[in-house]
Amino acid sequence: MLVFVAEPHAWQQDRSDIYDQARANQAWNEEFITGFSAAATQFQQSLAERDLLREYAVKDAMIAASYVMLAATELGLATSPMNGWDEAEVKKVIGIDNRDDLAIALLMSIGHPAEQRHHPGRRPLCHTVFRDRYLAA
């Protein structure tokens, strides 16, 4: 079981290790680091002003979870994202029940599939894909 924890205030922590690694790998130059750092801080401050830090941290955790699912599939593993859990209980189990600053974004089971299942199929695209405007039923 994987638990994806969203850290809405992680942006306020020291990020120098990221910049040091990018320098060492010659991925980012000083101009980029300075600009990126300023832009990232400005963006996060804007989210804080609009009370959206938690929402965006959860979205970021969901993006990470999506890539974990893709990587697991490539390794022949099965995954299943879950919803409907009790956040307080999950936080208690993983030892962060005293951390109101953290949010549980997603639980995902992962492992070797017991059997190979056939895909059940999908709804026709006309039910789920819209051009120009979303057409509510």
Rounded to an integer, what distance in angstroms lies between the CA atom of residue 25 and that of residue 122?
A: 43
Rounded to an integer, what distance in angstroms lies between the CA atom of residue 14 and that of residue 16?
A: 6
Rounded to an integer, what distance in angstroms lies between the CA atom of residue 118 and that of residue 87?
A: 33
Whole-number pLDDT of residue 137:
59
Of residues 95 and 126, the one with the higher pLDDT is: 95
pLDDT band at 117 (very low <50, low <70, confident <90, very high): confident
Whole-number pLDDT of residue 123:
92
Mean of pLDDT over the chain? 94
